Amino acid sequence: MLTVSSNTVDSKNIKKEQSSTDIEDGEQIALNSIEPEPTTRWGRFRNSFKPAILDEYEHDETFNDLEKAIAATAQSPLHKSLKNRHLQMIAIGGAIGTGLFIGSGGALASGGPAALIIGWFLTGIMVYSTVQALGELAVRFPISGGFNVYSTRFIDPSWGFAMGWNYALQWLIVLPLELVAASITIGFWNDTINKAAWVAIFYSIIVFINLFGVKGYGEAEFFFSTVKVLAVIGFIILGIILDCGGGPKGGYIGGRYWSNPGAFSNGFKGVCSIFVTAAFSFSGTELVGLGACETKNPRKSLPRATKQVFWRITLFYIISLTLVGLLVPYDDSRLGASSNASASPFVLAIENAGISGLPSVINVVIIIAVLSVANSSVYGCSRTLTALAVQGMAPKQFAYVDRAGRPLVSVVVSLVFGLLCFLAASSKEGEVFDWLLSLSGLSSVFTWGSVCFCHIRFRYAMKVQGRDANAELAFMAQSGTIGSYFGVLLNTLTLVAQFYVALFPIGGEPNASDFFQSYLAFPVIFAFYAFHKIWKRNWILYVRAKDIDLDTGSAEHDLDLLIQEIQEEKDFIASKPIWYRAYRFWC
């Protein structure tokens, strides 16, 4: 059994020099020459960049790489500064971005309004099941690194290595892409100013937010998500009015565009093309699980946050995209024609109704959404790189965490890579970013499929080892393992559909360039997997269920007290009216 000390030394409470402190079972923490807390604000700020002081984890020299990785990620110096309201708003609106506001335009053009709803609905169910599975794992194991650590633990270290680098690359590439998208969007008002100037402004905003660590991320996302949620709700109300003929031009629209030009565009191939765009629009949903180790009370916060995903899928995606399909015909030549707000079906719906002024408001919301995704990219990339380093899967310098709880080196790496955003001033910008995006285009699909499979393996390991899930788990996924099986299946079908569309593109002939721009992530991921197998000489295909560690890093609960607490909550909810019971089931 691995033993991990979970007590992190807080430098703020250290008032005098200490040479060493005894830890139970003979563990030692070196606390050499620790200076008192500075009295000035500048001194405290400067001191915050010094390395965090950690408890050493105790392990035997006979431990293998997997056991050491599990032990290392079980303790984390990251600060638990995310509050319940942060997680709630991140869950509701954190992933709403260019995928919904702009990407849905290209999806509407290639698939039609019916395909739009089918693609987002099926992907939404898959994402809901994935987040429920992730919530169960994260409440049980609120450890640093999240997804790739679960893959290392429940599937295979080589797959964990591949998933970790896959996920880190996704966010590493998204940062410059989103900053360029924000600068392009400014062209809606003024396209004479060099885009590099706007890129510099947006880049500085992201750097400033990340100076405040996870608290800065949480507060920024709370603001960004609030704006996005209000904007989508406003569009839904407006869309219903417009479809019923309440716009300036008047005239009942109803389902006219479902008949002419029709419900589907490009037939079955058009439907297949929708899924990757839908997956892209949901990417970032899993950040709720990544923040588990930086949340004060995952047992309380995460279950409610994961339930919020249902509302985002239903209200903010399905309803809004249904209205988009009713208000904008799929053969509108402006759909998918550019990467700014003028190509957004949300803007086109308002322009078609003859409303002036509101397109500018939507444009502001798109800029905020883009900045939100850019901010999330630094968070997602830095935490993943740090977890990889702690497991010995990345340079050890990436494991550096300062006394403010910031994974400083990983944040700096992400921000330095983000400087690629200044390619916005280059004539080759589009070509470069198309190939960069191809490296991470399928990242979310692999991540979600792995999370679902980890959940299946976790439950199976509990069964094999004779553990009672009902008695031990503080939160169980509402979708159960059935939802996880569905998630694995649909993620696999999404990869197959994307392969089909990549090989036989809509409106074109098969060619290597289009194929690899759509499917390059697939061979890259398996290249990472093969590299780790050879590097570590790890020839096992999976960790056997009887050998899976179900205890290290798990949340410490008094099982009897936990069972009593959960039963009291159930009894309290059962005593309430049916509307309240329904509310608590979904919220």
- Tell whether the model's pLDDT for residue 451 goes beyond 60: yes
pLDDT of residue 39: 66
**pLDDT-based confidence at residue 421 (cuts at 50, 70, 90):** confident
- Tell whether the model's pLDDT for residue 18 goes beyond 50: no
Higher pLDDT pick, 11 / 564 = 564
pLDDT of residue 60: 52
Are the C-beta atoms of 340 and 184 separated by less than 8 Å? yes
The pTM is what?
0.83
Higher pLDDT pick, 83 / 293 = 83
pLDDT of residue 293: 66
- Tell whether the model's pLDDT for residue 28 goes beyond 80: no
Mean pLDDT rounded to a whole number for the chain: 80
How long, in residues, is the chain? 587
Are the C-beta atoms of 367 and 130 separated by less than 8 Å? no
pLDDT of residue 161: 94
Q: Residue ranges per domain, the chain? A: 59-556
The mean pLDDT of 12-29, rounded to a whole number, is: 37
Are the C-beta atoms of 529 and 161 separated by less than 8 Å? yes
- Tell whether the model's pLDDT for residue 244 goes beyond 90: yes
pLDDT of residue 437: 73
Q: What is the DSSP string of 365-397?
A: HHHHHHHHHHHHHHHHHHHHHHHHHHTTSS-GG
Least confident of 86-95, 108-117, 347-356, 448-457: 86-95
- Tell whether the model's pLDDT for residue 26 goes beyond 50: no
pLDDT per residue over 536-574, tens digit each?
A: 888 888 899 999 988 877 766 556 676 677 777 778 888
pLDDT per residue over 44-57, tens digit each?
A: 666 767 776 655 54
pLDDT of residue 296: 72
pLDDT of residue 442: 83
Higher pLDDT pick, 340 / 82 = 82
pLDDT of residue 258: 93
59-556 adopts what CATH topology?
Amino acid/polyamine transporter I (1.20.1740)
Least confident of 58-62, 156-160, 391-395, 427-431: 58-62
The mean pLDDT of 429-433, rounded to a whole number, is: 70
Q: Please report where in the chains the tokens 């995606």 appear, as a residue.
A: 317
Most confident of 11-15, 87-91, 181-185: 181-185
Number of Cβ atoms within 10 Å of the Cβ of 364 = 15
Are the C-beta atoms of 282 and 443 separated by less than 8 Å? no
Q: Please report where in the chains the tokens 């096992």 appear, as a residue.
A: 540
pLDDT of residue 486: 92
**pLDDT-based confidence at residue 339 (cuts at 50, 70, 90):** low
pLDDT per residue over 468-510, tens digit each?
A: 888 788 888 888 899 999 999 999 998 998 899 888 888 778 8
Higher pLDDT pick, 141 / 62 = 141
The mean pLDDT of 372-396, rounded to a whole number, is: 88
- Tell whether the model's pLDDT for residue 520 goes beyond 80: yes
| Percentage of the residues of the chain whose pLDDT score is greater than 70 | 81
Most confident of 80-89, 124-133, 557-566: 124-133
The mean pLDDT of 412-425, rounded to a whole number, is: 87
- Residue 261, preceding peptide bond in cis (omega within 30° of 0): yes
The mean pLDDT of 454-477, rounded to a whole number, is: 90
Are the C-beta atoms of 46 and 38 separated by less than 8 Å? yes
**Torsion, Cα of 206, 211, 212, 217 (10° steps):** 30
pLDDT per residue over 173-224, tens digit each?
A: 888 888 888 887 887 787 788 888 888 999 999 999 988 888 888 888 889 8
pLDDT of residue 492: 92
**53: which strand partners?**
9
- Tell whether the model's pLDDT for residue 239 goes beyond 90: yes
Buried (b) or exposed (e) across 515-531, using 16+ Cβ within 10 A?
bebbbbbbebbeebbee
Number of Cβ atoms within 10 Å of the Cβ of 42 = 8
- Tell whether the model's pLDDT for residue 153 goes beyond 70: yes
